[in-house]
Structure formats: C-alpha cells, structure tokens
Amino acid sequence: MPHPEPPAAETGAEALVRTLIGAGVDTCFANPGTSEMHFVAALDRIPGIRCVLGLQENVVTGMADGYFRVTRRPAATLLHCGPGYANGIANLHNARRAGSGILNIVGDHAVPHVMHDSPLTADVDALVGATSDWHVFGTEPARIGTDAARGVAAAASGHGRVASLVLPADVSWGFGGLSAAPLAPDAPRPPDPAAIGAAARALRSGRRATMLLGTPAVVEDLHPLLAGLSRATGAELIGSPMIAAIPRGRGRLALPTVAYPVDEAIRQLAPFDVVILVNCPPPVGFFLYPGRPSLMHRPDAEVITLSRTGQDAGAALRALAAELGATPSAIPAAAGGVPGVSGALTPESFAATVARLLPADAIVVNEALTLGGGFASVMPHAAPVDWLTVTGGAIGGGIPLATGAAVGARARGRPDRRVVTLQADGSAAYTLQALWTQAREKLPVTTLLLNNRAYAILLGEYAKVGAQPGQTARDMMSLDRPTLDWVALARGFGVEAEAATTVEELEPVLATSLARDGPTLVDVRFAG
C-alpha cells in the first residue's frame, strides 16, 4: 500500500492515523475516553480504519487477539488512561501467550496535567511496561508517526507481539504531526543447526520420542511434513496446551494436546524418553500441586529444543526432515462422517452434534475446559476448521476472541466464515458484554453457552485439596443461587437466543443459527 502523502499541517492524532493506515492497520477495536477525543476525531476525518466498539476494555483486547489469530495482521486498540488499560490486561495476557500482534493506543492525560495528579491519573507506564512486550510513551506530534510505525512493526515482529503506544492528549491535539512510512517487522529467526542435529540424533536413536508443537509449528501447510516426520521416526506429535489456532477436521492432522489435569498429563508423557520442543516451552502444569512436579514429562527424559519462540518453525521442521531424509506424507483420511447421536445432551453427544454441523472453514473458539473434551474423537470426521483456545489461562477470553475472529474474517474478505464458540458459563460472565458487539456488527457467531451453573473447574480443583466443600466453599464455586438466565442476558445485548436440553432441540437451533446473518446464543443444558 503506498504511504499516503501528509497534508502540510496536521495534528499528532492525524499523523498517527495516517501512519497506521500506511502500515496496513485496517481495524481499531475501541473503548475511548475523554483524553482520546482528538484521536477519535482524526479516525472520523481520515477514512481507512474501521472502528469496532466494545463496552469494556477486556472485550476490546480480546477482540484484537481474535482478529490477529485469523488475519495474522495486527489491529489497533484504543484504550483510555491507566484504569482503562488495566481493564484490558487479562486478555492482553492471553494474547501474549498466543503470540498475537496488537498495537494498543493508550490515551493519557496531557503531559503538563500529570503533575497535578487529577483523579484519573495513574501510573500507566508501570502498567504498560509490566504487561506489553514493547511500549513507547509518545512525546511530541512530530515523533508520533515514527513511534506508531515502530509500534506496528513491533506488533508484527516474530510471530506477533503486544505493543503499546501511550498517547498523551496534548501530543494528540498538538499541530506539527508528521506521519511516517511503514517499517518492516523482524522476520522469524532461522533455526539453530546444532539444535536440528541434536533432534535428528535423538530421533534416530530408537528411543521413544514425542514432538511437542507450538502455534507456528501447527499451521496447515506443515501438516504433511509433520505427518512425514512422524512416519519416518515413530515420534508422536502432541500439541502444546497453548496453541493460538489449530487446523482440525478432515484432511488435517488429528493432534492430541497436553492434558490440563496434571496427573493425566504426566501419564500422557510418561512413555517418552525424548521430548522435542518445536516453538513451545517445556510442558509445564498450569499450577503446582503438593507432591506433584512442575513439569509434566518424565524427569529423566531428554528435552531438546528444536526451535524457540521467534524462530522459524517451518524452516526448523524442513531442516530436520532433510537431515532425517523424511518427506511429506498425506494425512490419512478418517473413515466415515461424524456419527449420528440422539437423546440427552452429554459431552459426547454435544460434541458429535456440533462437529457434524460445523461448516467448512468455520472458526471454533473454545473456552470450555471442563466440558469441551468430547471433541477429540469426532473432529477428524468433521469439516476442516480453525480451532482457537484461550492460551493464557486468564478467564473471559472466549466471547471477545470469537467476536474479533469474525471481524478479522470479514476484514480479510471472508464474511462467510462462521464462528462457533464453546463457552463455559462461569468464564462467559467475565466478558459477556462482547455479545453486544456481535449484535452491533451483525457477526456470524454462534455462542454455545455450556451451562453447568458452577465454576466446574474449581470444584475439581477443590477436590484435590482433600476436603468436602462446606457451605462457604460451595457458595464460592457455584452459580446456582440465582441461576443466570443466559437467554435473557443475550437478548438484553441484542443477540438472538434459545435454550436446548436434548440433541433433538440443539440440532435445529444450531443449524438455524449457522444460516443466520447475525449472532445467536444457545443455552446448552447438559443432562444430570
């Protein structure tokens, strides 16, 4: 895209908008405040960036994460001062763990106002510094273009990073703004030949090996190569639990991931003498428990890092295959379709119903750790889809991710891609406001609200403490007094909603929702 010619005298905000457009930023997820009004005015005057409003900042940052996972291009966010930015930190945490590129524009007080410590003054530098991969504090209109160009490049570097630009109001409104030409992001670094050699030797040794795969190692193009490597070496392929987007369905690898429950993960990795890490960290448990280890692999296993975060996973896998003489291999097609089911909704019948109706190129967002497990056996028979998870463990990612994913698909000319969210009820309550953005933008999102009326994951965790919960503990983990009426909540935000308690009820509701122009929420009630 040619860099737009700046007019003679523009504000910092105008220079910033022009720089963002020149750098290919086409979407700004926003929850603006007073100090950003001149930036809003610049977005209004200069066409080229579509603004998508969120009712709360964690919705905004989660949408930007979903947008990147679908487009691989950074969006901007617009957030207000310290507390506004703080509201968005949780989903920025998830975005960093996903390797998603985002450029936050954080409005702040005019610089001469900060010393007066007005009510909304906060230590935005400390907050941004602790929670972004890269940040800069805007200092003058003449520099803001350069700052923004560096920010977009930082967000797009490696496999994607969270970058933040603090924009004081007076830098925004001041004249003398200069836009800047786009800067090239850093490409992923080449792999380390010594690591390739070490992995090849281990895979040739005859010991039992697994390759653990992070986000850039599981893109669809690499599936035949991964299948070939597995066939040639006998290594089992397992996904990291934190993959930003996994291609699943017919024609793709059926990739198990490291289990969330610690004892299950330890059993899963116990057979392996060799653990080869491909763009992912060692398999660490989400939490440490008394008497359990932090790492899930066998303590005596050899752990080899084939490629790290920021390195080119594809190049590493191709080099490894060349070293081993492995060639790409066709993915074996699963026989038959998804089996038909009927009757009460269980995790299994639910998964089969959804998998059978998923259209090709759908995007599935999963924030249903305790209820989403029935999909492993049916997904190899389903249409090909992209499967997104909440990567960082911060609750409340699902609905915003799905919203941003749909915006991203639309921005890339694929408004037809359906988004299906597998959403636990407890987590949904953190960021349910994102439903409103789905309605406003008429996004093709179906939220399957898995209603177990509890923090089910906490009830499981509490059991590990070794005590029966009394009334106080139960009250801190149950959502049944009163129950949340998700149909009413969704309609309150302008989203169509129905409930389903059997396969026979779910099927037509889901099918209808998948043919509808806008969003739907289905309150899915499991048996028992």
Residues 59-98 contacting a copy of itself, CB under 8 A: 82-84, 86-87, 89-90, 93-94, 97
Whole-number minimum distance, CB 284 to a copy of itself, in Å? 4
Distance CA 398, CA 434 (A): 9
Q: CB 76 → a copy of itself: shortest distance, Å?
A: 13
Between the alpha carbon of residue 447 and those of residues 196, 323, 381, 453, 459, the distances in Å are 43, 45, 22, 16, 24
Q: How far is CA 22 from the centre of its chain?
A: 26
Subset of residues 324 to 363 that bind a copy of itself, contact rule: CB under 8 A: none
117 touching a copy of itself, by CB under 8 A: yes
Coil, strand, or helix at residue 278? strand
CB–CB of 273/246 below 8 Å? no
Q: Do the Cβ atoms of 67 and 27 come closer than 8 Å?
A: yes
The least distance separating a copy of itself from the CB of residue 421, rounded to whole angstroms, comes to 18
Residue closer to a copy of itself by CB (options 142, 284) is 284
List binders of a copy of itself among 220-239 (CB under 8 A). Answer: none
Query: What is d(CA 322, CA 435) in angstroms, rounded to the nearest whole number?
Result: 48
C-alpha to C-alpha distances, 282 to 195, 239, 258, 270, nearest whole angstrom: 15, 12, 11, 14
Least distance in angstroms from the C-beta of 526 to a copy of itself? 20
Q: How far is the CB of 402 from a copy of itself (least distance, A)?
A: 18
According to the binding rule CB under 8 A, does residue 303 interact with a copy of itself? Answer: no
Of 183, 39, 159, 46, nearest to 96 by C-alpha is 159
Tell the smallest beta-carbon distance from residue 397 to a copy of itself (Å): 10
- Choose which of 12, 141, 241, 400 interacts with a copy of itself (CB under 8 A): 241
**Alpha-carbon gap, residue 358 to 514, rounded angstroms:** 8
Residues 161-220 that bind a copy of itself (CB under 8 A): 169-170, 173
Q: Which stretch binds a copy of itself (CB under 8 A): 33-41, 191-199, 268-276, 405-413?
A: 33-41
Distance separating alpha carbons of residues 329 and 110, to the nearest angstrom? 59
Smallest distance, a copy of itself to C-beta of residue 459, A:
10
Site for a copy of itself in 380-419 (CB under 8 A): 391-396
| Shortest spacing between CB 12 and a copy of itself, in angstroms | 12
Q: Which of residues 260-279 bind a copy of itself (CB under 8 A)?
A: none
Q: Number of residues in contact with a copy of itself, rule: CB under 8 A?
A: 101
- Closest separation between CB of residue 298 and a copy of itself, Å? 16
Report the residue number, 138 or 380, with the smaller CB distance to a copy of itself. Answer: 138
Contacting a copy of itself (CB under 8 A), which of 188, 285, 380, 404?
Answer: 285
- Within residues 448-487, the interface with a copy of itself by CB under 8 A covers 457-458, 461-462, 464-465, 467, 469-473, 475-477, 479, 481-487
* Residue 517 binding a copy of itself, by CB under 8 A: no
- Rounded alpha-carbon distances, angstroms, from residue 2 to 104, 180, 181, 320: 23, 12, 9, 39
Closest CA to 404 of 95, 107, 138: 95
Find the binding residues for a copy of itself in span 483-502 (CB under 8 A). Answer: 483-489, 491-494
Identify the residue among 178, 303, 334, 429 touching a copy of itself (CB under 8 A).
429
> Under the criterion CB under 8 A, does residue 141 sit at the interface with a copy of itself?
no
To a copy of itself, the closest distance from the beta carbon of 183 in angstroms equals 26
C-alpha–C-alpha distance, residues 275 and 240, integer Å = 12
Whether a cis peptide bond, with omega within 30° of 0, leads into 281 is: no
Give the closest residue to 96 by CA, choosing from 137, 61, 122, 140.
61
Nearest partner of 48 among 13, 22, 77, judged by Cα: 22
Report the SS3 class of residue 11: strand
Residue with Cβ nearer a copy of itself (153 or 242): 242
